[in-house]
Amino acid sequence: MTAIEFHLPLRLYSTSNRREHWAKRAKRVKRERGIVETLTRHVIAQAGFALGGVVITITRHGPRKLDSDNLATSAKAVRDGIADALFLDDGDDRLDWRYAQVTGKGVKYGVTIRIESAAAEEGKEA
């Protein structure tokens, strides 16, 4: 298996523009990170995914577009949860993080996570 993809009905917030009490934010981030870690670990185990160098694309779904720095910030708990599931630090050189978004009228909030081997990604570019 060279790639896995799954969707979660999580709303990713632009935290730099959000007025939220620190304790409420910490509770939300901890919950999101735990959900992503648990589901990612389950999906990887079911797929028999072998860890090496991987490309991870986090796609935010929402009605409005975020700029690139807010997009990355909104996905921080998701990124940390995926790294936890892989038993790696999110800054590990084996992980190549990418961000995307799907926007438009009628688009429901959510996040899609795609994990693929770096070798498969290199094969596409050749």
Domains and CATH numbers, the chain: 3-125 (3.30.1330)
What percentage of the chain exceeds 90 in pLDDT? 64
> What's the pTM?
0.86
Whole-number mean pLDDT of the chain?
Answer: 88
What is the residue-wise DSSP string for 12-46? PP-GGG----HHHHHHHHHHHHHHHHHHHHHHHHH
User: For 10-38, how does the pLDDT look when each residue is reduced to its tens digit (9 = 90+)?
Assistant: 998 887 777 778 898 889 889 999 999 99
Q: What is the pLDDT of residue 126?
A: 45
Lowest-pLDDT range of 15-24, 40-49, 106-115? 15-24
How far is Cα 99 from Cα 43, in angstroms, rounded to an integer?
Answer: 20
